[in-house]
């Protein structure tokens, strides 16, 4: 009986200790986290850059692992702007827009879009002065991002614009030949548009 009890305590003791340590650790982590947030917060640029990294990765993964593999390598399906009628894969830019629209529907505090000064889909034209300025900046300064604050409807926002370059011949070919494009002389490497991310700032 005694040995059972001592076995019980030896098993329980480390567990209790672990629980106390864990709870303490969590409390410490939470307090460290909240105090550092209170002291510094996360900068809107780090927030925007991080969101952009996820968006860019998802778009590349969809393009390479879904579209290019099934269309070019396995040749089992095509990708088309009219994906519903043609039972095809949506284009990467459409997938991107559908995601952005769903985020907006869910009432997320930030918004994003893939825009261009020469949009195939007029919905993807810049609407604010800062969007136009940012898209122009990324075309004139290849490889550089653009960051600026703007006030819309009385709310101050941090707006980031990331260049979207023509990384493959397909980008240029499809856009230059599209019936709705306002520009048909894109070259490989050109900045064709940009990802705009807008985060509200508390003032």
Shortest distance, position 20 Cβ to ligand HEC, whole Å: 54
Residue closer to ligand HEC by CB (options 51, 94) is: 94
When the beta carbons of 15 and 122 are compared against ligand HEC, the nearer one is: 122
Residue 40: exposure state from Cβ atoms within 10 A (0-12, 13-18, ≥19) = exposed
- Residue closer to ligand HEC by CB (options 79, 130) is 79
Identify which of residues 44 and 193 has a Cβ nearer to ligand HEC in the complex.
193
Evaluate whether 113 touches 97 at the Cβ level (below 8 Å). Answer: yes
What is the Cα–Cα distance from 155 to 200, expressed in whole angstroms? Answer: 7
What's the min distance (Å) between Cβ of 164 and ligand HEC? Answer: 4
3-state secondary structure at position 192? strand
To the nearest whole angstrom, how small is the minimum distance from the Cβ of residue 169 to ligand HEC?
A: 9
Which stretches of the chain bind ligand HEC, using CB under 6 A?
Answer: 81, 91, 93-94, 97, 114, 116, 119-121, 124, 164, 166-168, 170-171, 174-175, 192-193
User: CB of residue 182 vs ligand HEC: minimum separation in angstroms?
Assistant: 9
């Amino acid at each position: 009986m005694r040995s059972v009890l001592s076995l019980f305590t030896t098993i329980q003791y480390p567990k209790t200790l672990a629980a106390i340590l864990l709870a303490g650790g969590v409390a410490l982590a939470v307090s460290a986290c909240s105090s550092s947030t209170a002291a510094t917060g996360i900068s809107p640029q780090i927030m925007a850059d991080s969101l952009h990294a996820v968006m860019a990765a998802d778009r590349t993964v969809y393009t390479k692992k879904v579209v290019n593999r099934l269309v070019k390598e396995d040749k089992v399906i095509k990708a088309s702007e009219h994906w519903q009628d043609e039972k095809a894969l949506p284009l990467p830019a459409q997938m991107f827009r559908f995601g952005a629209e769903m985020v907006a529907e869910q009432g997320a505090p930030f918004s994003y879009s893939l825009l261009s000064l020469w949009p195939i889909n007029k919905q993807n034209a810049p609407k604010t002065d800062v969007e136009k300025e940012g898209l122009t900046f990324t075309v004139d300064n290849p490889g550089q991002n653009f960051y600026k604050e703007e006030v819309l409807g009385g709310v101050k926002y941090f707006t980031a614009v990331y260049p979207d370059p023509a990384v493959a011949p397909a980008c240029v070919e499809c856009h230059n030949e599209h019936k709705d494009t306002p520009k048909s002389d894109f070259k490989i490497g050109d900045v064709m548009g940009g990802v705009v991310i807008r985060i509200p700032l508390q003032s």
